[in-house]
Structure formats: structure tokens, C-alpha cells
Amino acid sequence: MTTNTAKEFWRWKEYNWHDSAVDPKSAEIITAGVDVGSVSSQAVVLLDGQLYAYASMRTGSNSPDSAIKAMNWALENTGLTIADLQFTVGTGYGRVNVPFANRAITEIACHARGGNFMYGPTVRTILDMGGQDCKAILCDENGKVTNFLMNDKCAAGTGRGMEVFADLLGVPIEEVGDLSLDVDEEPPPVSSTCVVFAKSEAASLLREGWSKKRVLASYCSAMAHRVVSLLQRIGVVKDFAITGGIAKNRGVVVRLEKELNIKAIQSKYDAQIAGALGAALFAKAMVEKQRKTVLQ
């Protein structure tokens, strides 16, 4: 294979964070969640149920490695190592391949649980727009899933589709959303559903003289429309929240809110860690349950 020297516009920023004001040694329960997705992996560490550290990075070709890398990066400079984690739950596409996990739980359950923590108990509908799938999840006030619908068959309406477009137009993926909103007039949405066909449609729109911004607006609006049809099939109940990478793309979010006529509620937490956060919360509940059993 030849190496690609061209700029990779799809490549989003990887990041890690930890709360340096907290001493992890003072915590009683240290739990973790790892969400190994098809495109990105997140690791979250909780101290007594409070968010302490996290990391988000691209999933490599080997899921066990990606899980270890993400967790080590989350724990960087914290003084903690994987051995200090009392219980870890793996979730996402590669959840059974997390070598240090004590249990695997589906990402649907984890997103609902994480969403409940991030957006509060009033959230009833969580739209998770991931790298290779899109899920509409209904949950109760405890973050328990009551119903869900998902598309994991088709790249239309997923982060991967957006990456393809960022690359085609040579626009860094983080800028796609804002650029797409910088148009005088909203263009009609790209008519092809399939990302492969949408690519050729976009190329001919550019040839017709459309600006990049206008093509991006057209694609973001098509993506929003596609996701709205998934949401309408399940029925949106307020409060409504969006998780996953596309939650950071205002071009899609604003159009989606407009079409649904519902505003998505905001959180101080990073929308991309919802799954791993939910997994870590499940891990905490399991440690508590174990303790109870031991004490009885």
C-alpha cells in the first residue's frame, strides 16, 4: 500500500482530560468504562461515581490494543494504572475484546445510562450519532432503555459518511458544521441516500458552481433529514439529547432541531463519552452490589 501524503481532512482531534484538583487515592470506589466503537474509542474513569478522567481516540485495526491505549491515555499523569481499576465495563462494537474489562454491556444500555447522568433524569430520548451507526433510544427517569431503533447497515446518517464528505471537499471535519451554516439561503438537501452516490452528486454540484459551504449545507441537511426519519419512527419524547461525534456538528444539530421542532438539551459533559460513562456507572453499581453481597 502506498502511504497517503495528502492531508487527511476527516481526521478529528483525539483528546484526554483529568480533574487535577482531585486526589484519586482518596477515592473509595474506582471504576471505569471503555467504549470501543468502530471508528472511535473512549475510556472513562469515575471516582466514587464522579467523573474523574477520560480520553477519546481513533479505534485502530486491533480492538484490544485500542481499548488499552485509550485507557492508558485517560490515566496519563493521574498516578493510576489499569491495575487500580476495581471494576471495568466494556461496551461498543468491540466490547468483548477489552482485555481488562470484567463485563461487557451493550452500548444501547450504556448510552441511556450515561445520557441520564449527563443530561439529568428528565431526558427521555437519546439520539446517539456514532461513527458507523445511529441509534434512537428511549429511556425512563433511571436511564433504563424502554425502546430503541438503530441503523448500522448504511453509512448515510453516520459519522463515517461525514468523514467521507470532509475529505471530498477538503474541509477539516470540525469546521464542517459551522461552514455549512454560513450560507445566505438553505439549499435543497442532497438527493442521493447512499454516501457513494452523494459523493458523485456533490462533485457535479461543485462543477455547476456551487460553493463548498453550499454543498456542505446540502449534505448536513440531508443527514439531518435521514436521522429525523429514524427518530419519527420511534417517536421523540422530551427531553431530547444528542450524544456521539455528530452532536458536535452544529450544521446537523441545528437542522435536525428545526425539522423536529425540538431543541436538544445541553450538558457540561463531552457528548462523545456518553457510552463509556454509562459503562463506568454500571461498573460502579456492580462494585456496590458485590460489597452488599459480601456484607450480608
Partner 1 sequence: MIIAGVDMGSKFVKVVILKDGAIQGKATETTGFEPIEAASRCLHSAAEASGIKATSIEYITATGAGRKVAPGANSDITDVGAAAKGVARLHPPARTVLDIGAEEGRSIKIDANGKVVDFAVNEKCAAGAGAFAESMARALEVSLEEFGKLSLQSNKSIPMNAQCAVFAESEVVSLMHAQTPKQDISRAVHDAIASRIISMARRIGITQDLVLIGGLSYNPGFVDALNRGFEFKVHVPADAEYVGALGAAITAEERNR
Q: Footprint of partner 1 on this chain (CB under 8 A)?
A: 1-2, 38, 61, 132, 153-155, 160-161, 164, 192-197, 200
- In the block, residue with C-alpha cell 461515581: 49
- Name the residue nearer to partner 1 (CB basis): 106 or 193: 193
Q: How far is the CB of 152 from partner 1 (least distance, A)?
A: 9
**How many Cα neighbours within 13 Å face the side chain of 121?**
2
| 2 contacts: CB under 8 Å, gap ≥ 6 | none
Q: How far is the CB of 33 from partner 1 (least distance, A)?
A: 24
Residue 96 vs 141, nearer CB to partner 1? 96
Least separation in angstroms between residue 161's CB and partner 1 is: 7
Among candidates 62, 15, 60, 21, which has minimal Cα distance to 40?
60
* Identity of the residue, 102 or 192, whose beta carbon is nearer to partner 1 in the bound complex: 192
Q: How far is the CB of 20 from partner 1 (least distance, A)?
A: 36
> Based on CB atoms, which residue is closest to partner 1, 1 or 295?
1
Q: Which is nearer to partner 1, 89 or 252 (CB)?
A: 252
Closest contact distance (angstroms) between CB of 154 and partner 1 is: 5
Amino acid sitting at position 69 = K
Q: State in angstroms the smallest separation of the CB of 48 from partner 1.
A: 39
Tell which residue, 102, 130, 129, 154, has the closest CA to residue 41.
130
φ/ψ of residue 255, rounded to 5: -70, -35
Please say which residue, 2 or 77, places its beta carbon nearer to partner 1: 2
Compare residues 1 and 83 and give the one whose CB is closer to partner 1: 1
The angle at the Cα of 184, spanning 183 to 189, to the nearest 5 degrees, equals: 60
Least distance (Å) between residue 194 CB and partner 1:
5
- The answer to whether 217 and 187 have CB atoms below 8 angstroms apart is yes
